[in-house]
């Protein structure tokens, strides 16, 4: 992006909540089932039907509100957003306009080692729409209403984001929080998190430019591509002496470009008004406090703890903290006080992450339990086996359901740290290599390496290298 | 204040044929004039805390309706879906 | 006296004493329908077979000595905007001409549970928008007392069927007077209950914050019984109130001594016929003779109620009726090109003019730039009107007003003049705006046409309304005489 410019980005993240039932009816909240099989007269918008609000949706939204340091509005309401479209059976979406459930929050993100605070304007609850299927073998578009009434929270950020990197960090932090408090599956391919993006650009030092909204951004990576494209598009317009019109654009990820949907003039007139089929939402303060206390330790807090208590680097700490599973494995292994946190983290970020990425397996379905990981690291750090042997033990643990010591015994990998045995062995080796011994004594110190190597070889690699070296030096100095 | 009948009709997804437009415009204007002239009330709408609703327990119910009975009233159904004119080209 | 002429409570005891059977009752009703329906046009759909089936079940249950509700075997007509599983529910609109709901409204489940016998679905103004039942897509219902006149609306079919003896009782719905005004025109007793006391689940919405389903009958007892059967909180309707509802028939008492009746000047001003004022005040005097105390009161915001009403009800209607788009159910236009074209043709061909007018008014008052000037102002006004009523009920127990400014008008008289039509609701809309209960009872006539009065009470004071009406009924005798229609 042109260095004379700065981008200003605000994000609206829509996350589907993993409740058992839909937001306004008792239909199953499930993905990927047969078309129109999870539908009832209510979510199909049949005449005379009425909505009833799912209590879990309110609780989940409040949890997210707490996680993002929001003010919770214990008294709020819902409103209708009116527009015609085949995926919206009632021709209005029940949402929240004037008074959202949560507002005025903030979120700390980490961008190359530095912390930045992004404002969170509001979090409100609303219902998802159905899906339109397009297939040329049909005379028109097909409507599947299974997704109608799936509960959503919309998280609206302040326009505090100034770069693609910040946008990426913000989105990833939001996702990891959603997973930590377990209110959304965050399955991108299932579209369970989507976002709308607001982008403007301005010359550094000059006032903000006119913003454009970009809809239909169905994954975080698409959001990043979209922001990049849109910022550059606007800069190009300005550089060519043009002006940016406030407009709504649609992101086409396949083509990698945004297309004009509507200009400000013909903006939608949604005719919001209070939903008369629902009364006031009133949550008592005890419940709000209870939900706050129910929150687990969140990624930012974990990261701070890892850095402060264990002296782990920001980057390593962040890599663990942003993943619920890795953080769980790490915390449990550390708690056993067998291996050092630094030793344990090396394995998780190294071999374990590699294994997970390659196999697509999750930490939980790995045979390497926290106990086994801690034990392995402990044994290596105590010098009972070498790092090389450690890797062999790990490989075996991945495939065979066996304990660390069991594997060490089987493959007899334990290191020989018995001074007398090692000394005896060293005497034999030195006797066989008189030339090198004299070279060493004559000042050719590099002969030492050769001699130690010979001793290790004679021990079939099982001698404790450190001890072996000390013994050789001792004997040579006699 | 005159009401833009064309815009309102469009927003309502109702098309009025030209010969009726004048009639509708007149009717609408009369009605709007009738509802005009409400007194100014320097008050604000209160969110009534005492008008709270009971929320529904999050329990999924399945098999209460079959797709067939729900789609029975639909003008056009294909492949278990409602059929509408193409929404994208 | 024929069975169709009797009240539900009379028939109930006759059934208990085996003086008649449920099948005989329903046959008497259908004979009456065969005789007069072509003059009255109350019904859109008749359910003779299922009705006779149900009546047989009831008779068998009685024969087996089963304990049945006091309404078991009583024929009831249901307004065609109340969903009936497997039975067409058209809202008297081309839009829903062939719509058959896959579920029952909660009130329908309740009357079924009470073993009542549904005679059929009765006519109304399209989507309950109107005051004469002339806005029905199917037919014009006529006033049984003068078939050149309208029965009122929107529940014209519900009122006319009961008045003509084509049903013993019926269910209507009332958003701005749609039960009380036709009851007044047809000379029957009709209750618009306290908002939230009867579940709206399955009632095709016109204006969600104002709609209420209510009972119509030919005796206070009947209306009280039917109200007891349909009221109560419902998990399916978040706006319904969970609370204890008494047995209103058991609670009936004709003792009105000390009952404080408020007479608001605003409801007796110009635009109200003298014949109506006179009839209402005579009835009030009767209650006074029985020991009631009359106080003159004022409800200054009344004149604004109709404005607030048309803004709020139309705004909600424009949104509630947006779902009729030819996609999921109901009418779809035949020839169209694009999606928008399909929407516009479907809605323009499927809705009648009055419905279109209300949808457009509602769309207008909610559209950007006008919300504050119209919708918000109307809601503020609503707050004020509620407050005025609440304050008044610190001084009086009930308020008595005319139900309608005049007797039933001639068919076609107001058809081309929406505003004149709306004026027929001037006495009833404030009650909906305030969410209060209102009861119409006949209180005289003007050249043979019934005149009705409206008793208004505070929230959930239905028992008080019934008792005042009961006292008047006891003094005057039968208030609802069935015209012969020969």
Instruction: Write the pLDDT tens digit of every residue in A358-393.
Output: 988 888 888 889 999 999 999 888 878 878 888 889
* pLDDT exceeds cutoff 80 at A189: no
* pLDDT exceeds cutoff 60 at A236: yes
**Searching chain C, which residue's CA lies closest to the CA of residue A279?**
C239
Tokens of B79: 């492949």
Which residues 117-146 in chain A show a CB within 8 A of chain B? 132-134, 138-145
CA within 13 Å, CB half, C398: 28
Report which of B7, A380, A244, A421 is spatially closest to residue C363, judged by C-alpha positions.
Answer: B7
Q: What's the pTM value of the predicted model, to 2 decimals?
A: 0.92
Report which of A165, B45, A219 is spatially closest to residue C381, judged by C-alpha positions.
Answer: B45
State CA A323 to chain mean position distance: 5
- Return the H-helix or E-strand segment holding A6: strand A5-16
Query: Catalytic: C79?
Result: yes
Rounded to the nearest 5°, which phi and psi values hold at A466?
A: -60, -50
**pLDDT of the residue at B89:** 61
Residue of A45, A52, A80 with shortest CB distance to C328: A45
Q: DSSP 3-state assignment of C354?
A: helix
Are the Cβ atoms of C304 and B38 closer than 8 angstroms?
Answer: yes
Alpha helices, H only, C338-403: 339-350, 353-366, 377-392
* pLDDT exceeds cutoff 90 at C151: yes
Q: Categorize the per-residue pLDDT at C415 as very low, low, confident or very high, splitting at 50, 70 and 90.
A: confident
Give pLDDT tens digits for C464-484.
999 999 999 999 999 999 999
Q: DSSP 3-state assignment of C16?
A: helix
**pLDDT of the residue at C165:** 98
Share of chain B above pLDDT 90, in %: 48
In this prediction, residues C447-474 reach a mean pLDDT of 98
**Searching chain B, which residue's CA lies closest to the CA of residue C100?**
B73
* pLDDT exceeds cutoff 80 at A445: yes
CA distance C107 to A45: 19
Which residues 255-294 in chain A show a CB within 8 A of chain B? 269, 271, 278-282
**pLDDT of the residue at A409:** 83
State the best of B9, B47, B63, B66 to mutate against chain A, taking most chain A CBs within 10 Å: B47
Domains of chain C and any CATH numbers: 3-261+395-476 (3.90.1300.10)
Please check whether residue A19 touches B, CB under 8 A. yes
Q: Of the ranges A119-128, A375-384, A457-466, which one carries the lowest mean pLDDT score? A: A457-466
Q: Categorize the per-residue pLDDT at B28 as very low, low, confident or very high, splitting at 50, 70 and 90.
A: confident
CA angle A93/A94/A100 to nearest 5° reads 125
Query: Residue C228 in contact with residue C218, Cβ under 8 Å?
Result: no
In this prediction, residues A294-322 reach a mean pLDDT of 92
Separation in Å, CA of B40 to nearest CA in chain C: 8
Are the Cβ atoms of A47 and C96 closer than 8 angstroms?
Answer: yes
Query: Residue A278 in contact with residue C239, Cβ under 8 Å?
Result: yes
**Residue A110 vs residue A39, higher pLDDT:** A39
State the best of A24, A47, A266 to mutate against chain C, taking most chain C CBs within 10 Å: A47
Residue of A47, A52, A84 with shortest CB distance to C236: A52
Cβ neighbours around A4 below 10 Å, total: 14
In this prediction, residues A218-244 reach a mean pLDDT of 93
Q: Of the ranges A144-148, A213-217, C33-37, which one carries the lowest mean pLDDT score? A: A213-217
**pLDDT of the residue at A5:** 95
In this prediction, residues C97-108 reach a mean pLDDT of 98
In this prediction, residues C408-432 reach a mean pLDDT of 90
Which residues 299-338 in chain C show a CB within 8 A of chain B? 304, 306-308, 310-311, 318, 322, 325-332, 336-338
Query: Residue A180 in contact with residue A214, Cβ under 8 Å?
Result: no
* pLDDT exceeds cutoff 90 at A151: yes
State the best of B1, B10, B13, B17 to mutate against chain C, taking most chain C CBs within 10 Å: B13
**pLDDT of the residue at A188:** 64
Chain B to chain C Cβ contacts (< 8 Å): 130
Q: Of the ranges A394-408, C60-74, C273-287, which one carries the lowest mean pLDDT score? A: A394-408
**pLDDT of the residue at A218:** 86
Q: Of the ranges A311-325, C100-114, C117-131, which one carries the lowest mean pLDDT score? A: A311-325
Give pLDDT tens digits for A13-36.
999 999 999 999 999 999 989 999
In this prediction, residues A424-439 reach a mean pLDDT of 89
In this prediction, residues C35-53 reach a mean pLDDT of 98
The percent of chain C in helix, strand and coil, each rounded to the nearest 5, is 40, 15, 45
Name the catalytic one among C83, C154, C155, C197. Answer: C154
**Searching chain A, which residue's CA lies closest to the CA of residue C372?**
A273
User: Which residues of C fall within a CB distance of 8 Å from B11?
Assistant: 363, 367
User: Which residues of C fall within a CB distance of 8 Å from B86?
Assistant: 339
> Which chains border A (3 or more CB–CB pairs < 8 Å)?
B, C
**pLDDT of the residue at A223:** 93
Tokens of C478: 């039968």
- For the question of an ipTM over 0.90, the answer is yes
Give pLDDT tens digits for A330-363.
999 999 999 999 999 999 999 999 998 898 888 8
**pLDDT of the residue at C131:** 95
Residue of B55, B62, B84 with shortest CB distance to A140: B84
CA distance C482 to C442: 13
Q: Of the ranges A130-144, A285-299, A415-429, C119-133, which one carries the lowest mean pLDDT score? A: A415-429
Tokens of B44: 């604000």
Please check whether residue B47 touches A, CB under 8 A. yes
Strands (DSSP E) contained in A330-426 are none
* pLDDT exceeds cutoff 80 at A202: yes
Please check whether residue C87 touches A, CB under 8 A. no
State the best of C199, C237, C319, C363 to mutate against chain A, taking most chain A CBs within 10 Å: C319
User: Which residues of B fall within a CB distance of 8 Å from C338?
Assistant: 85
* pLDDT exceeds cutoff 90 at A457: no
CA distance C429 to C384: 14
User: Which residues of C fall within a CB distance of 8 Å from B27?
Assistant: 357, 418
Please check whether residue A49 touches B, CB under 8 A. no
Which residues 390-449 in chain A show a CB within 8 A of chain B? none
Pairing of strands A141-144, A131-134: antiparallel
**Searching chain A, which residue's CA lies closest to the CA of residue C363?**
A271
Cis peptide before A224 (omega within 30 of 0): no
Report which of C298, C268, C273 is spatially closest to residue C389, judged by C-alpha positions.
Answer: C298
Report which of C121, C119, C117, C115 is spatially closest to residue C101, judged by C-alpha positions.
Answer: C121
Name the catalytic one among C170, C178, C196, C314. Answer: C178
Please check whether residue C236 touches B, CB under 8 A. no
Structural domain A419-476, CATH architecture: Orthogonal Bundle (1.10)
DSSP assignments along A248-308, one per residue: EEEEETTTTEEEEEEESTT------EE-TTS-BEE--HHHHHHHHHTPPPPHHHHHHHHHH
DSSP assignments along chain B, one per residue: ----HHHHHHHTT----HHHHHHHHHHHHHHHHHH--PPP--------GGGB-PPBP-----SSS-HHHHHTT-S-EETTEEEES-S--
Are the Cβ atoms of C332 and B75 closer than 8 angstroms?
Answer: yes
Residue of B59, B80, B86 with shortest CB distance to A26: B59
| Domain boundaries of chain A, sorted by first residue | 5-291, 297-410, 419-476
Separation in Å, CA of B71 to nearest CA in chain A: 9
CA distance C351 to C126: 8
Give CA separation, C216 vs A420, C189, C213, C448, in Å. Answer: 109, 6, 10, 21
Give CA separation, A146 vs A48, A50, A134, C328, in Å. Answer: 20, 18, 16, 14
State the best of C88, C331, C360 to mutate against chain B, taking most chain B CBs within 10 Å: C360
In this prediction, residues C74-101 reach a mean pLDDT of 98
Query: Residue A52 in contact with residue C235, Cβ under 8 Å?
Result: yes
Tokens of A114: 């530095």
> Which chains border C (3 or more CB–CB pairs < 8 Å)?
A, B
Are the Cβ atoms of C381 and B38 closer than 8 angstroms?
Answer: yes
User: Which residues of B fall within a CB distance of 8 Å from A146?
Assistant: none
In this prediction, residues C57-76 reach a mean pLDDT of 96
Query: Catalytic: C154?
Result: yes
**pLDDT of the residue at A417:** 76
Q: DSSP 3-state assignment of C335?
A: coil
Tokens of A217: 């951004």
- Return the H-helix or E-strand segment holding A456: helix A447-458
Q: A386: Cβ–Cβ under 8 A, 6 or more apart, which residues?
A: A380, A413, A415, A461, A465
User: Which residues of B fall within a CB distance of 8 Å from C347?
Assistant: 12-14
Give CA separation, A446 vs A433, A439, A449, A469, C290, in Å. Answer: 14, 9, 6, 13, 126
Please check whether residue C103 touches A, CB under 8 A. yes
| Mean model confidence pLDDT for chain A | 92
Chain A to chain C Cβ contacts (< 8 Å): 100
């Amino acid at each position: 992006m042109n260095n004379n410019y700065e981008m200003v980005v605000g994000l609206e993240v829509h996350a589907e909540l993993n409740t058992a039932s839909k937001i306004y009816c008792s239909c199953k909240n499930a993905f990927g089932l047969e078309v129109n099989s999870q539908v009832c007269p209510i979510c199909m918008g049949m005449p005379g039907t009425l909505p009833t609000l799912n209590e879990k949706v309110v609780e989940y939204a409040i949890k997210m509100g707490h996680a993002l340091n929001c003010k919770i509005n214990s008294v709020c309401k819902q409103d209708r957003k009116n527009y015609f479209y085949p995926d919206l059976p009632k021709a209005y979406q029940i949402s929240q306009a004037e008074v959202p459930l949560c507002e005025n929050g903030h979120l700390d993100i980490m961008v190359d080692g530095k912390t930045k605070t992004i404002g969170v304007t509001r979090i409100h609850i609303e219902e998802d729409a159905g899906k339109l299927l397009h297939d040329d073998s049909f005379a028109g578009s097909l409507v599947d209403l299974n997704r109608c009434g799936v509960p959503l929270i919309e998280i609206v950020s302040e326009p505090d984001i100034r770069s693609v990197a910040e946008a990426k960090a913000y989105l990833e932090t939001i996702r990891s929080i959603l997973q930590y408090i377990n209110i959304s599956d965050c399955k991108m391919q299932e579209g369970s998190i989507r976002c709308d993006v607001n982008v403007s650009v301005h010359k550094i030092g000059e006032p903000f430019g006119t913003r454009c909204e970009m809809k239909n951004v169905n994954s975080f990576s698409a959001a990043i591509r979209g922001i990049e494209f849109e910022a550059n598009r606007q800069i190009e317009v300005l550089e060519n002496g043009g002006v940016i019109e406030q407009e709504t654009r649609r992101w086409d990820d396949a083509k990698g470009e945004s297309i004009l949907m509507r200009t400000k003039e013909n903006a939608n007139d949604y005719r919001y008004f209070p939903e008369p089929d629902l009364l006031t939402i009133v949550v008592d303060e005890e419940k709000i406090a209870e939900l706050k206390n129910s929150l687990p330790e969140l990624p930012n807090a974990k990261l701070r703890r890892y850095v402060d208590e264990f002296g782990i680097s920001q980057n390593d700490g962040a890599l663990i903290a942003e993943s619920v599973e890795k953080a769980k494995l790490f915390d449990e292994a550390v708690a056993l006080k067998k291996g050092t946190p630094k030793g344990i983290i090396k394995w998780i970020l190294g071999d374990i992450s590699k294994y997970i990425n390659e196999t697509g397996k999750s930490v939980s379905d790995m045979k390497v339990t926290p106990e086994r990981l801690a034990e392995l690291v402990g044994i290596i750090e105590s010098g009972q086996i070498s790092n090389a042997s450690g890797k062999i033990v790990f490989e075996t643990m991945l495939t065979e359901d066996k304990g660390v010591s069991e594997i060490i015994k089987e493959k007899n990998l334990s290191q020989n740290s018995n001074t007398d045995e090692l000394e005896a062995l060293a005497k034999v080796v030195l006797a066989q290599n008189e030339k090198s011994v004299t070279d060493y004594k004559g000042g050719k110190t590099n002969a030492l390496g050769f001699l130690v190597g010979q001793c290790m070889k004679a021990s079939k690699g099982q001698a404790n290298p450190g001890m072996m070296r000390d013994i050789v030096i001792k004997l040579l100095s006699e | 204040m005159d009401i833009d009948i064309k815009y309102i009709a469009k927003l309502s997804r109702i098309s009025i044929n030209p010969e009726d437009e004048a009639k509708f415009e007149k009717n609408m204007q009369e009605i709007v004039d009738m509802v005009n002239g409400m007194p100014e009330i320097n008050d604000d709408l209160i969110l009534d805390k005492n008008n709270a609703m009971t929320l529904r327990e999050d329990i999924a119910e399945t098999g209460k309706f079959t797709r067939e009975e729900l789609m029975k009233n639909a003008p056009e159904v294909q492949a278990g879906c409602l059929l509408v004119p193409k929404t994208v080209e | 006296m024929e069975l169709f002429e009797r009240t539900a409570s009379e028939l109930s005891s006759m059934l208990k004493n085996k003086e008649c059977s449920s099948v005989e009752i329903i046959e008497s009703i259908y004979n009456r329908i065969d005789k007069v329906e072509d003059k009255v046009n109350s019904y859109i759909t008749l359910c003779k077979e299922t009705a006779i089936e149900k009546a047989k079940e009831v008779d068998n249950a009685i024969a087996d000595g089963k304990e049945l509700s006091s309404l078991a075997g009583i024929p009831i007509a249901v307004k065609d905007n109340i969903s009936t599983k497997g039975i067409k529910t058209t809202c008297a609109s081309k839009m829903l001409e062939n719509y058959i709901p896959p579920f029952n409204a909660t009130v329908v489940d309740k009357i079924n549970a009470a073993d009542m016998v549904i005679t059929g679905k009765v006519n109304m103004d399209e989507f309950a928008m109107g005051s004469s039942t002339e806005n029905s897509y199917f037919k014009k219902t006529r006033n049984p007392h003068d078939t050149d006149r309208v029965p009122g609306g929107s529940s014209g079919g519900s009122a006319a069927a009961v008045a003509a003896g084509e049903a013993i009782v019926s269910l209507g719905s009332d958003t701005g007077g749609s039960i009380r005004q036709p009851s007044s025109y047809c000379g029957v007793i009709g209750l618009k209950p306290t908002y939230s006391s009867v579940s709206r689940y399955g009632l095709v919405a016109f204006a969600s914050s104002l709609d209420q389903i209510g009972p119509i009958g030919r005796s206070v007892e009947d209306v009280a019984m039917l109200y007891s059967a349909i009221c109560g909180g419902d998990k399916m309707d978040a706006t319904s109130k969970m609370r204890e509802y008494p047995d209103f028939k058991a609670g009936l008492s004709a003792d009105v001594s000390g009952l404080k009746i408020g007479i608001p000047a605003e409801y007796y001003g110009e635009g109200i016929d003298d014949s109506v004022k006179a009839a209402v005040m005579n009835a009030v005097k009767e209650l006074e003779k029985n020991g009631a105390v009359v106080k003159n009161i004022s409800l200054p915001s009344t004149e604004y109620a109709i404005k607030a009403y048309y803004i709020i009800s139309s705004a909600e209607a424009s949104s509630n009726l947006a779902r009729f788009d030819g996609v999921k159910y109901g009418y779809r236009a035949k020839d169209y090109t694009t999606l928008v074209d399909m929407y516009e043709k479907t809605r323009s061909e499927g809705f009648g003019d009055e419905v279109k007018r209300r949808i457009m008014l509602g769309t207008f008052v909610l559209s950007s730039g006008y919300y504050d000037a119209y919708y918000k102002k109307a809601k503020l006004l609503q707050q004020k009107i509620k407050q005025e009523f609440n304050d008044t009920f610190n001084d009086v127990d009930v308020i008595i007003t005319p139900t309608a400014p005049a007797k039933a008008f001639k068919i076609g008289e107001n058809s081309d003049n929406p505003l004149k039509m709306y004026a027929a609701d001037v006495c009833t809309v404030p009650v909906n705006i305030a969410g209060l209960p209102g009861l119409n009872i006949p209180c005289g006539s003007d050249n043979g046409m019934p005149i009705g009065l409206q008793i208004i009470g505070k929230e959930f004071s239905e028992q008080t309304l019934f008792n005042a009406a009961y006292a008047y009924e006891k003094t005057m005798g039968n208030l609802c005489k069935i015209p012969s229609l020969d």
